[in-house]
Chain A
Amino acid sequence: MTAFDHISRRGFLSLLGALPLAACGRSESVQESAAAEEGPAYGDTLVQASIGDISGLIPNITSDSASHEIGGLIYANLIRTDKELRPEGELAERWDISKDEMTITFYMRHGVKWHDGEDVTAEDVDFTFRYMIDPKTPTAYGEPFRQVRRAEVVDRYTYRVTYEKPYAPALLSWGLWILPRHILEPAWKAGVDLRTTRQNRFPVGSGPYRFGEWKTGEKIVVEANPDYFEGRPYLRRVVYRVIPDQSTIFLELKARNIDLASLTPIQYRRQTEFPAFLKVFHRYQYLSNSYAYLGFNLLDARFQDKRVRQAMAHAINKQEIIEGVLLGLGRPAVGPYKPGTWWYKDDVKTFPFDPERAKALLAEAGWRRARADGILEKDGKPFSFTIRTNQGNAVRQQTAEIIQRRLRAVGIDAKIHIVEWAAFINTFIRKKDFEAIILGWGLGLDPDQYEIWHSSQTGPEELNHISYKNPKVDELLEAGRRTFNQEKRTAIYGEMQEVLAEDQPVIFLYVPDALPVVSARVRGIEPAPAGIMYNFIKWYVPSALQRYTR
């Protein structure tokens, strides 16, 4: 679950604009319409752009999304999620969960090979597990594995893990990039930092693409793995160009030198909405896996009164923010989950835009209109606070401005303070030195949000920075973790969403849309709840439209 501040989007890459380099193998003159639907073909290169260079090619110990994306092509996971976000096997063919829900046994596919020809076995899974729980491993993803009481290699292709207590997020935590034991274990045993090994620069994986080359600061190239156990990917090569500037990425996209990128709302609505662009690119639009919120420091007595938070929820017009800031590309959030997931409850209490109701609730909570400037006050103190958010995120800054105006209308004076990211986290969030914040959460593939809402997670290094404490929510979060039964969990998290909706510990603002754009010559893209990337190995370019012949 990463905050979605650090923009890490792809653009793409390309051949020379229009230099007379006919000799270089570019067969672009064949136009899209001509050579239409002749079915899947192997070949061509898909070019993307990454705003930063990747930090390494052992994704288990990196945290930037470019490394994860490329790592995801090179390495296979034990399990993954399908297009409906349901768990499905990748290296594991299937798995059993014991009756007491404490043990998971994975049965792995036979005959899967590492890119160097060695077999992928349960020993590799075991090595990856032991590496993840090693306290010396610099990873941010080790926590779920520390809940394992016992892990055993049952036989060459069977792996079993037993937990202290039933732990529902466990299954999806095995959507873990499996590392090659035969390459890494000697170095690990010798105490070598694996980041300094060859594997981190020239990785051997078992995924659909093999590592090609990595030119620092310039590009990363991966080549289709003909022996991938689900079949050879159609696109022969994927290139990630490192382009550190968003505007440059967009220009390269417009010049058709990048095949896959993500648009901002303004690019979607204003800068790509013309026929010449729409003819050569297909745009997609679906809800992203994140939401933005206005959070309050609940250690502050003013915000502890539920009526005050509800009043602010009534005072803010979420639709106006979506129209004004996201240009309509998103939807109002009513809780901490993405609409459409199995655990999402859509009939919770909502707080429609209603300034009069907001004023009434504030009056009920003891805030009186007694000052000339119209700001409410209580015990002689005006209702005035600062909303902080991070620099470099125009959407959040504009959201703050709209909220500021709406709060002023009901007699609350909000100031805005924009802070650089690291300072924001370190100086204000960690030290709980804030009154209100606008931030977002990226969402996981499991409804468990123990770290965000549980009262035990309010320490300075922990994620419940708003210090929300509700025994009922604690109880539900604990219960939700202790069963794998989807029906029970739906009920548990449904109830939790009702409590959160009533409580408004934060004001859930909006779920923005993801706006990917892909070259129109690429076929086989089928948008689903999981987005578009889930069937990447099935994407293809009909042979007449292929652009990069080498």
Chain B
Amino acid sequence: MLAYLIRRVLITIPLLLGILCLSFLMLKLAPGEPTIIQQDLQARATGAQRETLRQLYGLDKPIYVQFGRWLWRVVRLDFGRSYSPDGRPVLEKIAERIPITLGLNLLETVIIFSLAVPLGILSATRQYSVFDKATTVFVFVGFATPDFWLALLVMILFGVQLGWLPISGLRSLNFEYLSFGAQVWDLAAHLVLPLLVASVGGLAGLSRYMRGSMLEVIRQDYMRTARAKGLAESVVVYKHGVRNAVLPVVTLLGLMLPGLLGGAVIIETVFAIPGMGQLFYQSAFSRDEPVLMALIVIGASLSLFGNIAADVSYALVDPRIRVAKRREV
């Protein structure tokens, strides 16, 4: 197991390098540079001034020199400063947004899992029932609905027409002046719509996955054995069935890891939530390379780590795989 783990981690290093190299190259190949965005068509900006900016950022050097320099700094965990005129350290810009995105996504994950698992089980055990069919319809609608559109609809309904919930942002303007209880209430009210919209898509996918997994388990021999032993149906389904069926779904958590920090670009943009997704969006539009590359490093590392975690957790929880690995080693 340990040898397997070490090998997995070592393989990741060239993979990560490859990802970074490609991302860097693509950023550089995309037309436009940060200096354009900063002074596009300023009548009184001259070529000399643009050159000043290019030198300041080191953009006048060949790409491989830029990449080498950048990589050497990243190895020492120095992501540099943002190209945007605030010039703040990249890590600082990212750090202040992590709690928001992380909190939001953890909540979202909890909601999705706590709804998708029972939904999947019920659909599977009552396959082709009205409930199953209704869920199927809901799931396909949920899958097919674009986030931003749904967001606008619920904003119009609950925010403008009914006026029950705040439309955007995380806090009210007078947040500082509220009592603690009111602050919690305020925050919760602001989270309802974004969480609702964010959960719909994920819920649709995961409940399908759970249903499929459960259907497969139900047909297994050990289920028949359990029934043959005379166990109550609920024990058969929930003890023998669900425990096995939930395994592959739980390993999905590992794959969701990068998403937890990456943030949802669309949700955060539409609801004006200052998280990582929004930072990515803004950095992409302003060609803020240091921030973009830092976000890519984080995203890529988390994805790779999530993959390892998924593999390992699978190996840990599933005896069959554990045996297979041992034999292999």
Interface residues of A (CB under 8 A from B): 1-3, 5-6, 13-19, 21, 23-26, 45, 47, 52-53, 55-56, 61-63, 67, 135-136, 138-144, 193, 195-196, 200-201, 215-219, 239, 241-245, 247-248, 251-252, 254-255, 257, 420-423, 425-427, 444, 449, 451-452, 459-463, 548, 550
Contact = CB atoms under 8 A, between A and B. Distances in A.
B45 interface: yes
B174 interface: yes
A467 B163 CA distance: 55
A463 B163 contact: no
Given A18-B163, A217-B97, A196 B44 contact: no
A138 B173 contact: no
A23 B169 contact: no
Interface string B141-158: 000000010001001101
Contacts of A422: 30-33, 36-37, 287
Contacts of B165: 17, 19
B173 A140 contact: no
B207 to A, nearest CB: 29
Contact of A62 (B85, B168, B270): B85
Nearest to A141: B44
Nearest to B52: A135
A19 B186 contact: yes
Interface stretch (B109-117, B176-184, B246-254, B307-315): B176-184
Contacts of A243: 168-169, 272
A522 to B, nearest CB: 16
Contact of B31 (A24, A45, A427): A427
Nearest to B46: A143
Contact of A245 (B50, B52, B272): B272
Contact of B269 (A13, A244, A426): A244
B21 interface: no
A195 B155 contact: no
A3 B42 CA distance: 7
A139 B56 CA distance: 12
Contact of B156 (A26, A251, A449): A251
17 contacts: A2-B42, A3-B40, A23-B178, A52-B282, A56-B85, A63-B38, A135-B48, A138-B56, A142-B44, A143-B45, A200-B87, A217-B274, A244-B278, A248-B155, A251-B168, A257-B166, A463-B41
A438 to B, nearest CB: 14
B282 to A, nearest CB: 6
Contacts of B96: 216
B32 A425 contact: yes
Contacts of B37: 422
A17 B49 contact: no
B31 A423 contact: yes
SS class, residues of chain B in contact with chain A: loop
A465 to B, nearest CB: 9
Contact of A140 (B42, B148, B170): B42
Interface in B265-282: 269-272, 274-275, 278-279, 281-282
B177 A24 contact: yes
A216 B84 CA distance: 13
B44 A144 contact: yes
Contacts of A255: 159-160, 163, 167
A1 B167 contact: no
**Most chain B CB within a 10 A radius of its CB, from A15, A67, A239:** A15
Nearest to B179: A23
SS class, residues of chain A in contact with chain B: loop
- Contact residues on B (Cβ < 8 Å of other chain), bracket: 35 or more
Contacts of B279: 217
Contacts of B122: none
B166 A16 contact: yes
Given A21-B172, A257-B166, A451-B43, 15 more contacts: A21-B185, A56-B87, A63-B42, A141-B45, A200-B86, A218-B171, A244-B272, A245-B270, A247-B152, A248-B168, A251-B152, A251-B156, A425-B40, A459-B47, A463-B43
A1 B39 CA distance: 10
Contacts of B270: 245, 247-248
B166 A17 contact: yes
B21 to A, nearest CB: 22
- Give the 8 A-B CB pairs with smallest separation, nearest first: A422-B32, A217-B274, A195-B87, A461-B47, A18-B163, A1-B43, A423-B31, A140-B39
B195 interface: no
A14 B36 contact: no
A19 B166 contact: yes
Contacts of B46: 143, 461-462
Contacts of B189: 16, 19
**Most chain A CB within a 10 A radius of its CB, from B41, B52, B93:** B41
A191 to B, nearest CB: 13
**Most chain A CB within a 10 A radius of its CB, from B32, B56, B272:** B272
A203 B167 CA distance: 31
Given A19-B189, A142-B49, A247-B270, A426 B36 contact: yes
Contacts of A14: 173
Given A16-B172, A245-B269, A550 B177 contact: yes
A200 B178 CA distance: 29
Contacts of B275: 217
Interface string B84-115: 11111000010011000000000000000000
Contacts of A1: 41-44
B170 A218 contact: yes
**Most chain B CB within a 10 A radius of its CB, from A53, A140, A460, A461:** A140
A335 B133 CA distance: 65
Contacts of B140: none
A25 B177 contact: yes
A452 B38 CA distance: 19
B38 A56 contact: no
B85 A217 contact: no
